[in-house]
Structures are given as structure tokens and as C-alpha cells.
């Protein structure tokens, strides 16, 4: 039975990367919530809202990639294993971004066609499109939090010493400093 790893050394900015993931998620949630209740009839505002919401999502993705970049899967270029380990994040993230784009384009087209915002909810398919996008958004937020917690709960993903990577933390062999110290005591002067 393999013993759990404890006190795994991590880079000093590891916790900051995790905090940025959570900050990015909160920013994305608030941007999406604020821009959904906007009833201004201004096409320029809608274009800016679309760009801002896409940028908020991409900020979250960049923070998550920066955080996952500290795992051994990324450091060793095992991207297919990374996709397997964190499949829900990538799947729901892609669907959420797709629905952000589709919903915003539909909304922009309606605004440019002169449809009032209150009437937009009565147009065919908008409510279903909007609701589906929000569901995928909730799944994405949950899977991003799950992925962050999974990295914290699995020290073998972020281990930096060779003994942790090999899976044999006890039998990794003597420390290099030990060999060098033994070599210093065997000088020719003492061997005579």
C-alpha cells in the first residue's frame, strides 16, 4: 500500500495561482450576472458587453492553465493525460464559451434588429439558449473548483522531487550531500 505524500514542496506562487483561479471565477460570475440584467437599448453597449464577458471567461481560463501548469502533467508535456485527468473542466469550459458566443450573437442580432430587451425573451429559442448556457456555466464553475481542489488533494500531481515522481519516497536512495561528505573524509592524507 502506497503511503500518502505529505509536505510536498511547491513553488511559492502556487497558492497565488489558486487564488487567481477563484478570483477569475467570481469575476466571470459577476460580469455575466451584471450584463444579463442590462436593459439598455444601445448596440455599442451590447458589443462591449460581449467582448467583456468573453474576456472575463478567457481570464479564468488563463488563470486555470497557469495553475495547472504547475502540475507534472504539463511540465512533462503529458497533455493527453491532463485532458483525461481534468476532462470535465475542458468539456464544460468549451461548451460554456460556445454558448456565451452563441447567446451574445443572438442578442446582438436582436438589438441591431430593433427588438426591445423585454421582447427578446419572447423570441423563439432565446430563453432555452440562455438557460442552457447558464447551466453549462454552472457546470464549468463547479468543475473548475473541483479541478483546483483535486490538484491540492493530489500531491503527486505537483511534486517536484524525483522521489515523489518515482512513487517511492522512502527508497529514493541516499542524498547526494551524504556521498560528498563521505568522499571528503577519505582523503589521501588519512589513508596512509
Angle subtended at Cα 131 by Cα 125 and Cα 132, rounded to the nearest 5 degrees: 90
Q: Write 173-178 long-range contacts (CB < 8 A, 24+).
A: none
Alpha-carbon gap, residue 75 to 3, rounded angstroms: 24
Model confidence pLDDT, tens digit, residues 37-88: 666 667 787 788 888 888 889 998 898 888 888 777 777 787 888 888 889 9
Kindly list the distances between the CA atom of residue 70 and the CA atoms of 6, 12, 19, 76, 149, in Å, as whole numbers in the listed order: 17, 11, 14, 10, 14
- Give whichever of 7-16, 28-37, 103-112 has the largest mean pLDDT: 103-112
Closest to 2 in 3D by CA, of 150, 136, 173, 170: 170
Model confidence pLDDT, tens digit, residues 101-157: 998 888 888 888 888 777 888 888 888 998 999 999 999 999 999 988 888 777 677
pLDDT at 10: 64
Per-domain boundaries in the chain: 14-159
- 4-8, 18-22, 75-79, 132-136: which range is least confident on average? 4-8
Contact 118, 39 (CB under 8 A): yes
- Listed in sequence order, the DSSP H helices in the chain are 14-36, 43-68, 72-75, 79-85, 87-112, 117-120, 126-153, 162-166, 176-185, 188-191
Alpha-carbon gap, residue 183 to 71, rounded angstroms: 36
Closest to 71 in 3D by CA, of 143, 156, 147, 12: 156
pTM across the whole model: 0.72
Contact 15, 63 (CB under 8 A): no
pLDDT at 114: 83
Amino acid at each position: 500500500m502506497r503511503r500518502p505524500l505529505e509536505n510536498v514542496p511547491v513553488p511559492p506562487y502556487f497558492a497565488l495561482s489558486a487564488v487567481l483561479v477563484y478570483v477569475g471565477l467570481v469575476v466571470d460570475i459577476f460580469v455575466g450576472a451584471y450584463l444579463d440584467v442590462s436593459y439598455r437599448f444601445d448596440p455599442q453597449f451590447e458589443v462591449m458587453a460581449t467582448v467583456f464577458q468573453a474576456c472575463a471567461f478567457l481570464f479564468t481560463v488563463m488563470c486555470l492553465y497557469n495553475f495547472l501548469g504547475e502540475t507534472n502533467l504539463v511540465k512533462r508535456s503529458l497533455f493527453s493525460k491532463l485532458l483525461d485527468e481534468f476532462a470535465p473542466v475542458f468539456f464544460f469550459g468549451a461548451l460554456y464559451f460556445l454558448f456565451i458566443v452563441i447567446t451574445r450573437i443572438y442578442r446582438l442580432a436582436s438589438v441591431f434588429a430593433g427588438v426591445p430587451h423585454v421582447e427578446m425573451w419572447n423570441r423563439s429559442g432565446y430563453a432555452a439558449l440562455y438557460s442552457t448556457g447558464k447551466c453549462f456555466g454552472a457546470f464549468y464553475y463547479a468543475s473548475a473548483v473541483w479541478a483546483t481542489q483535486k490538484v491540492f488533494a493530489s500531491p503527486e500531481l505537483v511534486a517536484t522531487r524525483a522521489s515523489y515522481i518515482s512513487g517511492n519516497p522512502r527508497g529514493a536512495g541516499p542524498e547526494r550531500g551524504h556521498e560528498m561528505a563521505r568522499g571528503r573524509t577519505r582523503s589521501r592524507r588519512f589513508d596512509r
